């Protein structure tokens, strides 16, 4: 797949690509608890990179260099794998959650446009 096309992938296309990848293995998808453990591990790695980048604790000299971008991508991919294993359409789930945030939090924070809930 060309790089430009990959950068413009929809969530559905990402879910399909990951499903095609996982489907080639006899093991298939792991169960929900294994998926959650893996997701927790990836979030921990992301937290460590953010802490090293923005926190007061630098990496040790012998620690491998990582990147926030790479760790975020790992969290995304493992999240998609978990969604696929549970037959969750992430596009639909995203839309429902975004609608919830848009309605519930429309005036939660000070807005740039000056609108208020009054």
Please, are residues 85 and 29 in contact by the beta-carbon 8 Å criterion? yes
Average pLDDT, the chain: 89
Q: What is the pLDDT of residues 72-95, one digit of tens each?
A: 999 999 999 999 999 999 999 999
- The reported pLDDT for the residue numbered 30 is 96
* pLDDT of 111: 80
pTM of the model: 0.82
pLDDT digits (tens, 9 = 90+) for 35-56: 999 999 999 999 999 998 898 8
Neighbours of 50 (CB within 10 A): 13
Pick the more confident residue, 55 or 7: 55
Q: How far apart are CA 98 and CA 104, in angstroms?
A: 10
Give CA–CA dist 16/97, Å, rounded. Answer: 21
In which residue are the tokens 């012998």 written? 62
Q: What is the dihedral of CA 69, 94, 17, 86, to 10 degrees?
A: 110
Please give the domain boundaries of the chain with CATH numbers for all domains: 29-103 (1.10.287.1080)
């Amino acid at each position: 797949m060309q790089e430009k096309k990959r950068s413009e992938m929809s969530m559905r296309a990402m879910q399909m690509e990951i499903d095609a990848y996982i489907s080639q293995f006899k093991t298939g998808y792991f169960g929900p608890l294994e998926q959650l453990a893996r997701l927790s591990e990836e979030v921990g790695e992301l937290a460590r990179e953010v802490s090293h980048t923005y926190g007061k604790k630098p990496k040790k000299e012998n620690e491998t260099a990582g990147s926030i971008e790479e760790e975020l991508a790992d969290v995304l991919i493992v999240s998609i794998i978990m969604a696929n294993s549970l037959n969750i359409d992430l596009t639909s789930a995203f839309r429902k959650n975004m609608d919830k945030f848009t309605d519930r939090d429309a005036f939660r924070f000070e807005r740039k446009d000056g609108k208020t809930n009054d």
